[in-house]
Chain A
Amino acid sequence: MNAADNMPRLPLAGVRIADFTWIGAGSYTTKILADFGADVVKIESSGRIDTLRDARPFKDGVRGVNRSGYFADRNSSKRSITLDLKHPQGQELVRRLIAGSDVVSNNFTPGVMERFGLGYEAVRAIRPDIVYLAMSMAGQTGPEAQYLGYGLTMGAVTGLQGLCGLPEREPAGTGTNYPDHVPNPSHAAFAVLAALRHRRRTGQGQCIDLAQIEPTVSLLGPALLDFTANGRVANRSGNDHVAAAPHGVYPTQGTDRWIALGAETQEAWRALVEVLQAPALQADPRFGTPAARWQHRAALDAALAPLTAGHEGYALMQALQARGVPAGVVQDASDVLLRDPQLAARGHWVYLDHPEMGRSVYNALPVALSRTPSRPHRPAPLLGQHTDEVLAERLGLDADAIAALRADGALS
């Protein structure tokens, strides 16, 4: 039984999305909408498989199109159908599905949907009030419209990569395809919701042209303004982002274990040196006031590191937090998934029973809604798992008609 059967009505129930997105940012966008209750039908093709279906990690390390955890987390709460869009009947089916949809989404480079006969104008002819989300890397027009990229390259071209890391080393970035996970999906989802609201008020649909290079730049506004207003080209600055000391990442007991902490106020500073049992620091005039600590922050960091290194990280975090000092263990993915009591208490990790992967983990939305709790409610779909179900429910096709379509190759 699906968890969906026991859920209260979700806030986006009734919103139907014909979803052509794949890989990263597009799929994460429609995951958000699906977890909130939209009926997202992921339109796939066995001839052009979402490459994330073939991306590690795999259940038990065994490769297979229905075994990728990377794919699964990005596709919770969706249904999957397979259609051959080059088959005349596949074309007919997809057009009928679109006619009954509120949103059509894709993250191809411009021209791909047009080659399927599914560009904005063509879709609008099928469904005049459609909300059409196109989220290519560089936008629908312009000298670089055909350029392609992934989250890693988009992190670089937007400036984020170059601003992360140590100034004397090559840029470190976030270590992930960051634009795929936060800026692009959240901006795309916000734009879709705004367009749906406009449609509900006016009956008018529209085309959303989200260039995946833009939202990440928009998150760097202060650094951009420092350039456009002050002429400064910001560089990497490690963890030195806050005009206060101490503030940073310090070693703790164990291999590659660290704690993030800050002690800006006099109270926090006194508490820190007491917890670290370092009266010499307390008495040191170089560290007596916020301004003095800032001036001598390199010496301060050098003095603190050997002290923190003698403590177990979680114990130190708890001792500091008990005194009101900001502190947090630098947790790795194992800590975050298996050890963190806060994420556990919040129910952040949701376990769903996947037909092939078994019980497996998904990110829940990072928000608790009081009246319409919204969480992943279906595991990621198997490739084409819901083809028959969707064709019957949406298009009224019976088993014989579906079998005929399948025999003819329209559903591959």
Chain B
Amino acid sequence: MYDFAKFTSKSSHNMDMETSTAPAAPTGAAMPGGAGAAPASPAALAGLRVLDLCGGYEQYAGKLFAQLGAEVILVEPVDGSRIRREGPFLHDRPHREHSLAFAYFNQGKRGICVDLDTADGQALLRRLAAGADLLISGEAGGVMQARGLGAEAFRAVQPGLVTTNISLFGETGPYAHYQGDDLVAMALGGLLYLGGYPGQAPTVAHGQQGVLAAAQFAAVAALVAVWDVEGQPPGAREGQHLDVSVQESVAMALENSAQFVELENTVRKRDAGGQRQAGTGVFACRDGLVYLMAGGIASNRFWAGTVQWLVEEGAPGAASLGEPQWNDASYLATDEAKRIFMDVFAPFAATRTKAELYAEGQRRRLPICPVSTVADLPQSRQLQHRGYFGNSTAHPFSGSAFAIPGAPYGLSATPWQAGRPAPRLGEHTSEVLAALGVDVGEQAVLLRAGAIA
């Protein structure tokens, strides 16, 4: 059985580009850029041992576990996770050690390379799983079973193991074996249809949000299952298998669309490129775009405040927006109302920056904000206050360091921790196998045979 605990105080993130098997150094050693410093606080998920077999954006689930303190080992094929071949690439140089997506989604994890399509690799994984609490995979239904690595394969060696598989359509049902990717799942899940402009092909959300949605729900469900297992008496713990569908995760994001069909027999359409209703939508300003929501949800509770702002600032025509018809939601939905509002608001916004509109609108308790670019985010004074970009990650292969998004939540007693940089290809294979009791001779055989890397 692999003893994860043996390595909880060790790491080997050396900066040289030669080798991935340098002697282990204490985690407390200062990391370039400040990442990986010894945690001063306890970790919420301390002691939890996770095997992450995912190859794409599903890896976000393991990242959530790692950065609250679980010991996460990424298990890659010998030629690396497929995400290593996805951009953007550091310095615009496509290379399997340059994927910024890989660097991001695997921060905080160790990494080993095992060919799970070989009998030796499968045997290694079963031995690793015997010492794990959670295994997360991202395969189509049946793939893990065909490798002899389905949930039932682990029951004898680790009955308390929670296995979680993320697939596009789930492991059962008529589409279980459909081919696809994020775009296809966003299409069949219904969210793609809502994105984009009337009269043109729908446009999908940026950045594989469907796969990421499944990764997030998988992480939540897996932690629920771990909670359940840990609540059982030691020695009699029973895990279970979780089957997560990207398509269903996308359907969770349809807002009220299904209910509009059911209750009002109405199919919601995409509506970008104009105001959703008068006063709600994207507007140009002096240095970019802002989003104003003068209508709020289910009421136009911010209308009066918006009009008062425009009147006080002397916007021509603003006073007319206070007339009674503007309290009528059906009027706000008309093209006339949208045009009149635009005629008043556009010249007002054109002379002001997004930062000015954000600050003054919010001072007036109105839901307005900039449409941020990625360049704006590190400049956000609120994110700076929260230290969100305060972490810099080392990139051991290149020797670079760059700012990286930080804690998505603050936990007062058990803070989020950045953890080690994403592993280099096979960086921890040898140390993990050694701890598993695979001696150097056997490792050499496996390496030569291509079962590990």
Report yes or no: B248 in contact with A330, Cβ–Cβ below 8 A: no
What is the bound-complex CA distance between A156 and B293, given in angstroms? 11
Identity of the chain B residue whose Cβ is nearest the Cβ of A59 in the assembled complex: B263
1/0 contact string of B255-273 vs chain A (CB within 8 Å): 1111111111011111111
- Stretch in B1-9, B167-175, B445-453 with 4+ CB within 8 Å of A: B167-175
Q: Chain B's nearest CB lies how many Å from the CB of A298?
A: 14
1/0 contact string of A160-172 vs chain B (CB within 8 Å): 1111111001111
1/0 contact string of A201-234 vs chain B (CB within 8 Å): 1101111111101110111111111111110111
B339 on the A face (CB < 8 A): no
Do A342 and B383 form a contact, CB below 8 Å, given A72-B259, A166-B203, A207-B412? no
Q: Which of B42, B368, B377 contacts A198 (CB 8 A)?
A: B42
A-B contacts at CB below 8 angstroms, number: 537
Q: Which of A202, A215, A342, A364 contacts B42 (CB 8 A)?
A: A202
What is the bound-complex CA distance between A147 and B382, given in angstroms? 10
Report yes or no: A369 in contact with B221, Cβ–Cβ below 8 A: yes
A270 on the B face (CB < 8 A): no
Q: Which residues from B are CB-within-8-Å of A219?
A: 60, 207, 209, 212
Q: Chain B's nearest CB lies how many Å from the CB of A231?
A: 9
Report yes or no: A205 in contact with B413, Cβ–Cβ below 8 A: yes
Q: Which residues from B are CB-within-8-Å of A144?
A: 362, 381-382, 385
1/0 contact string of B67-111 vs chain A (CB within 8 Å): 010000000000000000011101110000000110111000000
**Which chain A residues numbered 109 to 145 have a C-beta less than 8 Å away from chain B?**
138-145
- Stretch in A90-98, A241-249, A279-287, A396-404 with 4+ CB within 8 Å of B: A241-249
Q: Chain B's nearest CB lies how many Å from the CB of A124?
A: 10
- Stretch in A80-88, A184-192, A386-394 with 4+ CB within 8 Å of B: A184-192
What is the bound-complex CA distance between A343 and B245, given in angstroms? 10
Q: Chain A's nearest CB lies how many Å from the CB of B143?
A: 15
What is the bound-complex CA distance between A325 and B177, given in angstroms? 11
- Stretch in B112-120, B192-200, B436-444 with 4+ CB within 8 Å of A: B192-200
A6 on the B face (CB < 8 A): no
Q: Chain B's nearest CB lies how many Å from the CB of A62?
A: 10
What is the bound-complex CA distance between A349 and B190, given in angstroms? 14
Q: Which residues from A are CB-within-8-Å of B371?
A: 156-157, 161-162, 171
B297 on the A face (CB < 8 A): yes
- Stretch in B178-186, B317-325, B345-353, B425-433 with 4+ CB within 8 Å of A: B178-186
What is the bound-complex CA distance between A369 and B163, given in angstroms? 10
**Which chain A residues numbered 140 to 160 have a C-beta less than 8 Å away from chain B?**
140-150, 152-160
A346 on the B face (CB < 8 A): yes
B189 on the A face (CB < 8 A): yes
- Stretch in A40-48, A254-262, A289-297 with 4+ CB within 8 Å of B: A254-262
Report yes or no: A331 in contact with B90, Cβ–Cβ below 8 A: no
Report yes or no: A197 in contact with B291, Cβ–Cβ below 8 A: no
Report yes or no: A343 in contact with B247, Cβ–Cβ below 8 A: yes
Q: Chain A's nearest CB lies how many Å from the CB of B222?
A: 9
Q: Which residues from A are CB-within-8-Å of B203?
A: 164-166, 172, 236, 238-239, 249
**Which chain B residues numbered 277 to 302 have a C-beta less than 8 Å away from chain A?**
280, 282, 284, 289-291, 293, 296-299
A348 on the B face (CB < 8 A): yes
Q: Which residues from A are CB-within-8-Å of B34?
A: none
Report yes or no: B373 in contact with A342, Cβ–Cβ below 8 A: no
Report yes or no: B372 in contact with A232, Cβ–Cβ below 8 A: no
Q: Which residues from B are CB-within-8-Å of A145?
A: 382
Q: Chain B's nearest CB lies how many Å from the CB of A306?
A: 14
Identity of the chain A residue whose Cβ is nearest the Cβ of B370 in the assembled complex: A157
Q: Which residues from B are CB-within-8-Å of A300?
A: none
B54 on the A face (CB < 8 A): no
Q: Which of A202, A327, A346 contacts B184 (CB 8 A)?
A: A327
Report yes or no: B369 in contact with A172, Cβ–Cβ below 8 A: no
Q: Which secondary structure dominates chain A's binding surface?
A: mixed
What is the bound-complex CA distance between A158 and B374, given in angstroms? 8
Report yes or no: B291 in contact with A348, Cβ–Cβ below 8 A: no
- Stretch in B14-22, B24-32, B121-129, B403-411 with 4+ CB within 8 Å of A: B403-411
Do A56 and B298 form a contact, CB below 8 Å, given A70-B259, A198-B413? yes
**Which chain B residues numbered 382 to 415 have a C-beta less than 8 Å away from chain A?**
382-383, 385-386, 388-389, 395, 400, 402-405, 407-414
Q: Which residues from A are CB-within-8-Å of B335?
A: none
Report yes or no: B190 in contact with A333, Cβ–Cβ below 8 A: yes
Report yes or no: A186 in contact with B253, Cβ–Cβ below 8 A: no
B220 on the A face (CB < 8 A): yes
A89 on the B face (CB < 8 A): no
Q: Which residues from A are CB-within-8-Å of B179?
A: 321, 324-327
Number of interface residues of B (CB under 8 A): 153
Do A370 and B241 form a contact, CB below 8 Å, given A70-B256, A156-B369, A225-B103? yes
Q: Chain B's nearest CB lies how many Å from the CB of A33?
A: 9
Do A371 and B223 form a contact, CB below 8 Å, given A164-B205, A261-B184, A327-B180? no
Q: Which of B188, B197, B221, B290 contacts A340 (CB 8 A)?
A: B188
A304 on the B face (CB < 8 A): no
B313 on the A face (CB < 8 A): no
What is the bound-complex CA distance between A204 and B151, given in angstroms? 34
Do A153 and B291 form a contact, CB below 8 Å, given A260-B192, A324-B179? yes
A100 on the B face (CB < 8 A): no
Q: Which of A178, A214, A329 contacts B408 (CB 8 A)?
A: A214
Report yes or no: B188 in contact with A195, Cβ–Cβ below 8 A: no
Q: Which of A154, A238, A337 contacts B261 (CB 8 A)?
A: A337
Q: Which of B208, B219, B409 contacts A208 (CB 8 A)?
A: B409
A183 on the B face (CB < 8 A): yes
Q: Chain A's nearest CB lies how many Å from the CB of B367?
A: 5
Q: Which residues from B are CB-within-8-Å of A343?
A: 247-248, 251
Report yes or no: B45 in contact with A51, Cβ–Cβ below 8 A: no
A69 on the B face (CB < 8 A): yes
Q: Which residues from A are CB-within-8-Å of B221?
A: 36, 365, 367, 369
Q: Chain B's nearest CB lies how many Å from the CB of A25?
A: 12
Report yes or no: A163 in contact with B88, Cβ–Cβ below 8 A: no
Q: Which residues from B are CB-within-8-Å of A299?
A: none
Report yes or no: A175 in contact with B272, Cβ–Cβ below 8 A: yes
Q: Chain B's nearest CB lies how many Å from the CB of A318?
A: 10
Report yes or no: A148 in contact with B193, Cβ–Cβ below 8 A: no
16 contacts between A and B (CB under 8 A): A57-B256, A148-B365, A187-B409, A190-B64, A190-B220, A190-B223, A226-B374, A230-B88, A260-B204, A324-B179, A326-B179, A327-B184, A333-B261, A336-B251, A366-B245, A367-B242
Instruction: Give the 9 A-B CB pairs with smallest separation, nearest first.
Output: A69-B259, A172-B272, A366-B248, A55-B298, A345-B173, A175-B194, A142-B385, A333-B257, A156-B291
